[in-house]
Structure 1
Amino acid sequence: MNFRKMLMAVTGTALLLGTGYGASGEVAADRSRIQSAALPAIKADVKYIAQTSEAEATAKREQELKRFKNLLDQQQKALSGKYQPGEIRYVYINDKEYHASISSTPFASNSYSLIYRNYDEYIKKNATGNTAMPLELKQIPDGYNFTLARIAPYLSWPEQKKMFSQVIAEGKASGQKIYVKKLQEKRISVELIYTMASPVNGISGVLAITAEPAGAADKTVESEPVKPQSEKLKVGGQEVVYTSIDKQEYKSVAWMNPKTRVNYIIRENRGQLTKEELIAVAGQVIEASK
């Protein structure tokens, strides 16, 4: 099973339909004069089909999961309640019939987190002088609003994958329908989340800025791998890696502070910032973390 897909199962899934011209752009453009009258109806049909298909899939999934309501309620109960600082909790459903369902996810996790929905409160309590991972953004990019700051226990991606495998193996061997595993982790990550003030074409982009500890032997930012299209740049004396994927729908800037051994990653998903604007955000974070 794909572990990254399991991790992403906690987030929603968006169905994206798109059209575009190929190498025959000029021919297609000429034909568009003839087809222009039909386009509104075609687009409406495509939108309706997409919405109907998604709604049907959601309804089918919800109906299927009703059979496992008792198990899912137990899982949710195990994930609820009071958490100790640094606690990470995993809950595995050990049921073959549930696993056979296409709508199932084998386990879920949650952790102790400090959430701040006011930037000034976050700065006052955690950002300046109170952490080995200073993370500030004094000038918000145009079109974005601060949403929240989150401080949570940290595991690297290889550590998470190892833990997923361990929880599944232990859960299967436990003989328990609901298997719970708890960890205490001293390392933390700090994350600032910003969302677009107004949607563009119905889409609200998200800007996430993260500080996380690097491993003792790490030379790159493991959680943001370098891609073939990545570029190495210098920002404020710091070498950074800029990556753009899928026609600018995803952009990132990542670097490691060699003195503090802290990784910084700035990610924009489906937003409108230019490369230069994202680099400017990186410059602010670099200056604040010196």
Structure 2
Amino acid sequence: MNKNELEDIEIRLLLEGIFHYYGFDFRRYAPVAIKRRIRNILYLEQLATVSALQEKVLHDRTFLEQFLNYMTVNVTAMFRDPQFYLTFRHKVIPLLRTYPFIRIWCAGCSTGEEVYSLAILLYEENLYHRCRIYATDINETVLRNAQAGIFPMRLMQEYTQSYLQAGGKQSFSEYYTAAYDNAIFRAFLKQNIVFSQHNLICDRSFNEFNAILCRNVLIYFNQSLQQQVHQLLYDSLCLFGILGLGNQESLNLSHQERYYKQLAGRERLYQKIS
């Protein structure tokens, strides 16, 4: 048995242990992504083997939060992929206007940039006052950061450009207050957002939504887990509800594909039709 084969066994044991002891299930994440993240943890924590990492995470509960921070991908930005938001304005907003009250789920919201982007867009379209956005993530640490609504000031120039490309209608700086090196987003943007922990892998549907954004999450799951999450998203959408995926994700080959129509193929926006 070579070193890589032994490492694979250790990783399987680690993931099984975390699932059975803590209930967090990483067993069906994409193997290449999992191995890359675990090797990075070993380097950062100066651990020699995956078995040493297993001992640390199972016997030191305080380390679990740090482990989850390492394992969950929190790469995001405000108005990321501006064309998605521009298309959302033009094709989804008119559909949402037909509802007296609008429920939207941002699944895997990370540190919240996507949630605030959506809140700003809905505000500018005069819909935010009759919306409730549910922002969920597996990681409680990033949820706390999202709820705070504080982002590095150095990113605001980049975010302003993306906001304008996404069809922004005002001065982006009106939505935040500059304080030292941070931008603190306006309190009114949080008024209709519910931040809550939710695990896409093992938690169930918790409401019926008019729109769900689950962008750049599924790419980290293996095929069977993608199918499971697609079923969860389908079960959570109302008839004629809208599903938004990341630009590297699609409904192709999913069991649910036939129950949707493409609203905007390039932007990965779909409408549930049955």
Q: Please state which band the TM-score falls in when normalised by the shorter chain.
A: under 0.3
TM score, norm. by length of structure 1: 0.22
Higher CA-based Rg: 1
Task: Name whichever structure is richer in strand by fraction.
Answer: 1
TM score, norm. by length of structure 2: 0.23
Task: Name whichever structure is richer in helix by fraction.
Answer: 2
